[in-house]
Amino acid sequence: MLRTWTAPRAGTHVWAASGQPPSARQGGLSASDVLERRSRGEGNGSIASTGRTYSEIIRENVFTFINLVLFLLGLALILLGEVSDAIVAVGVVLGNVTVSLFQEVRAKRTLDQITLLSRPWATVIRDGQEWSVDPSEIVRGDTIVARPGDQIVVDGAVISSGPIEMDESLLTGESEPVEKDMGDIAYSGTFCVAGTAMYRADKVGAESVANALTARARTFRRVLTPLQLEVNVIIRVILLVAIIFELILLAQAPIFHFSVVESVKMSVVIVKLVPAGLFLSVTLAYALGALRVARRGALVQQVNAVESLSNVDVLCVDKTGTLTANRLKIHALQPIGIQGAELRSALGDYAASSSSDNRTNQTLARECEGRAQSIEAEIPFSSAWKWSALAFSGGRLRGVYVLGAPEILAPQASLSSDLTAQIESWTKSGLRVLLFARAVNGRLTRYSGAPVLPNRLVPVGLVSLSDELRPEANDVLSQFRAAGVRLKIISGDDARTVAALARQAGLSAQLVASSGMELSEMDEKQRASAAEVTDVFGRITPDQKEDLIRLLRQNGHYVAMIGDGVNDVLSLKRANLAIAMQTGAQATRAVADIVLLNDSFSSLPFAVQEGQRIRNGLRGILKLFLSRVLSVALLLMAVMILGAFPFDPKHISVLTTLTVGIPSIALAIWAHPGRSPSGGVTRSLAHFVLPAALTVAVAGVVVYVFVVLTASGNAQLRAQTALTIVSVACGLLLLPFVQPPTGWWTGGSELSGDWRPTYLAVALFLAFLALLAIPALRSFFGLIPLGLPTYLSIAMIVGVWTVLVRLTWRARLLERFLGVDLQQHAGG
Question: Residue type at 768?
Answer: F
HSE-CB for 123 with a 13 A CA cutoff:
21
Distance CA 587, CA 303 (A): 20
Cβ-in-10-Å burial (0-12, 13-18, 19+) of 586 comes to buried
CA distances from 537 to 81, 313, 600 (A): 64, 18, 23
259: three-class secondary structure by DSSP: coil
> In a 10 Å sphere around its CB, with 0-12 CB exposed, 13-18 middle and 19+ buried, how is residue 218 labelled?
middle
Please calculate the CA angle 622-623-626 and round it to the nearest 5 degrees: 75
Contacts 24+ apart (CB under 8 A), 355-359: 355/380, 356/194, 356/380, 356/381, 356/388, 357/148, 357/193, 357/194, 358/165, 358/177, 358/193, 358/194, 359/177, 359/193, 359/326, 359/327, 359/328
Counting other chains too, the contacts that 792-798 makes at CB distance below 8 Å and 24 or more residues apart are 793/703, 793/706, 794/703, 794/722, 794/725, 794/726, 794/729, 797/699, 797/702, 797/703, 797/726, 798/699, 798/726, 798/729, 798/730, 798/733
**CA–CA distances in Å: residue 91 to residues 195, 625, 650:** 62, 19, 18
**Residue 340 three-state SS:** helix
Query: In one letter, which amino acid is 692?
Result: A
CA dist., res. 683 & res. 679, Å (int): 7
Chain centroid offset of residue 290 CA: 11
Q: CA nearest 30: which of 7, 50, 49?
A: 7
318 is catalytic: yes
Options 85, 150, 155, 318, the catalytic residue: 318
| 486 contact partners, CB below 8 Å, separation of at least 6 | 313, 314, 315, 557
CA 205 centroid distance within chain: 28
Instruction: Name beta bridge partners: 577.
Output: 560
How long, in residues, is the chain?
Answer: 828
Report the interhelical angle of 715-738 vs 681-710 (nearest 10°): 150
Q: Residue 263: how many CA atoms within 13 Å on its side-chain side?
A: 16
Question: How do strand 594-596 and strand 577-581 relate by DSSP bridges?
Answer: parallel
Query: For residue 373, what are the CA distances in angstroms to 348, 349, 357?
Result: 10, 7, 16
Residue 168 in contact with residue 321, Cβ under 8 Å? no
Q: Is 488 helix (H, G, I), strand (E, B) or coil?
A: strand
Q: Which contacts (CB < 8 Å, 24+ apart) does range 76-79 have?
A: 76/267, 76/271, 77/268, 77/271
Helix/strand number for the chain, H first, E second: 30, 25
**What is the distance between the alpha carbons of residues 42 and 154, in angstroms, rounded to a whole number?**
12
Long-range contacts for 177-181 (Cβ within 8 Å, ≥24 apart)?
Answer: 177/358, 177/359, 177/383, 178/383, 179/382, 179/383, 179/384
Q: How far is 409 from 414, CA to CA, in rounded Å? A: 9
Active site residues: 318
